[in-house]
Amino acid sequence: MWEFGRLIRSRMRDGAQPCPSISQIEALQFVSEQGGPTMRDIAALLKVKAPSATALVDELVGSGFLTRTPDPADRRQVRLAMTRKGASALATAVARKKKVISSVLSPLAASDKAQFDRLLQKILTHNA
């Protein structure tokens, strides 16, 4: 099973266009869905310590994908927000990931793909 994840990550990196890392894509997706998470939220999502999350977010801010804004209710907190450039990068990365997964699954018959999808959904539902 680890090999499947490794294969997807490898194919994601093999593209002609530079692509955010898998962790960066996860962080962008989280910011997009949560609307204003904190650095602590990002660290918890990625299961890393705060300095590692800060380094990742610094890269995303430096690339123009995210912005930091002070929390109006608590000046000690900083909230993260998606920029247009970040939303575009996320959409591109998600489309690329779908294309890569489709390519990886291309040797399977339609019935095998349907069974794979059912099994994956069952696993995800059970572990949600």
What is the value of pTM for the model shown? 0.77
- Retrieve residue 27's tokens: 């962080």
Where exactly are the structural domains of the chain? Answer: 2-126
Nearest to 104 by CA among 35, 1, 8: 8
Give the three-class secondary structure for 54. Answer: helix
pLDDT for 83-107, tens place per residue? 999 999 999 888 988 888 888 889 9
CATH code for the part of the protein at 2-126: 1.10.10.10
Of 9-13, 64-68, 123-127, the one with minimum mean pLDDT is 9-13
